[in-house]
Homo-oligomer: A and B are copies of this chain.
Amino acid sequence: MTHIRLGPNQYGKAENRLVRVYRDTDRHEIRDLTVSTALRGRFDAAHITGDQADVLPTDTQKNTVFAYAKQKGIASIEEFAITVGERLLIATPAAEGARIEIDEHSWDRIPVGGAGHDHAFVRGAGTRSTIVNIEVTGGGRRTHVISGIKDLTLLKSTGSEFHGFLKDEYTTLPETDDRILATSLVARWRYDHADVCWDSSYRKIHALLLERFAEIHSYALQQTLYGMGEAVLDQHPEVAEIRFSAPNKHHFLVDLERFGLDNPGEVFIAADRPYGLIEATVERAGASDPGSAWHAVPGFC
């Protein structure tokens, strides 16, 4: 079997559920994270002979995440991911790269007497997310930082058209100049460099994405996404590209004529499946384009 060999590979500890409480004053802060680590590199022996001498166990990777939450703190998920990734690379000489993915679950202070409570919180909607991918190069390391948002469910009750599309013999969709547009957005943007104020950049981009979704008159989900991405690149020079994955959550107008009722855009049935799935990238011409920033290995998610 001399012609068979190990190809791309990575291994790590997925979905460490880490909650960090800052209690320096009576007014606590919390960061609630799901952290996944992965290392890739020269791990042939581990696969072929079962010799684990080069392999830092996934259990150790987990321990590192929790120890670093205390030792280094979590200024932002991006910074914490970089710090953990660099540590794992130092601890694992055979590794040629690290990929750290962190989701941050949002919490709001519970309102009591007009103010937010010191140490009681209610979970919010939407998830902030980062992927940090560090490549070991000849002379050092190259770090790619991707920030993003997941599970951001958006809906417009008007201001959305869809017509003028290509038709063939299987086309039955009527054209419309007024429909519901709804999606559950995943947006991820890659930073050009790592000299960024992560929390501030995230907050502004989050607000901008919402605002553009609301204000763009839509001729297709594609065009809405492009407009959202264009605004981010236009106002955020630190961002090299932004990628969207957006289900088109169909809302079908219910036929009420059967019951002698009109239905001018009022009663809809929301469908689960199938759904449209629109994926698009908006990028800065001339920016570096390392597909490897996204996945070390195509086909591994």
Using CB atoms and an 8 Å cutoff, list the residues of chain A in contact with chain B.
1, 3-23, 28, 30, 32, 36, 38, 43, 46-60, 62-64, 66-67, 69-71, 91-92, 107, 110-112, 117, 119-126, 152-159, 162-173, 180, 188, 207, 210-211, 213-215, 218-220, 222-223, 225-226, 229-230, 233-234, 241, 243, 245, 247-248, 251, 254, 256, 258-259, 261, 263-286, 289, 291-292, 294-295, 297-301
Residue of B nearest to A295 (CB): B298
Chain B residues near A284 (CB-CB < 8 A):
3-5
Cα distance, A75 to B33, chains bound together (Å)? 39
Other-chain residue from B19, B230, B292 in contact with A268 (beta carbon distance below 8 A): B19
A63-B259, A280-B6, A297-B281 known; A123+B153 contact, CB < 8 A: yes
Q: Shortest beta-carbon distance, A169 to chain B, in Å? A: 7
Chain B residues near A119 (CB-CB < 8 A):
156-159
Q: Can you name 9 A-B pairs with beta carbons within 8 Å? A: A6-B281, A38-B279, A63-B170, A66-B254, A67-B256, A70-B256, A111-B207, A122-B155, A124-B124
B121 touches A222 (CB 8 A): no
B281 touches A16 (CB 8 A): no
Q: Shortest beta-carbon distance, A251 to chain B, in Å? A: 6
Chain B residues near A265 (CB-CB < 8 A):
21, 23
Other-chain residue from B21, B92, B230 in contact with A157 (beta carbon distance below 8 A): B21
Residue of B nearest to A283 (CB): B7
Cα distance, A36 to B247, chains bound together (Å)? 12
Number of copies: 4
Main secondary structure of the interface of A (DSSP, over half): mixed
B259 touches A170 (CB 8 A): yes
Cα distance, A264 to B70, chains bound together (Å)? 10
Cα distance, A14 to B183, chains bound together (Å)? 13
B154 touches A120 (CB 8 A): yes
A57 touches B165 (CB 8 A): yes
Chain B residues near A19 (CB-CB < 8 A):
180, 251, 267-270
A173 touches B59 (CB 8 A): yes
Other-chain residue from B9, B263, B279 in contact with A297 (beta carbon distance below 8 A): B279
Chain B residues near A69 (CB-CB < 8 A):
266-267
A157-B121, A298-B298 known; A272+B17 contact, CB < 8 A: yes
Q: Shortest beta-carbon distance, A256 to chain B, in Å? A: 6
Residue of B nearest to A245 (CB): B300
Cα distance, A278 to B226, chains bound together (Å)? 35
Chain B residues near A214 (CB-CB < 8 A):
110, 112, 117, 120
Chain B residues near A301 (CB-CB < 8 A):
245, 301
Chain B residues near A3 (CB-CB < 8 A):
284-286
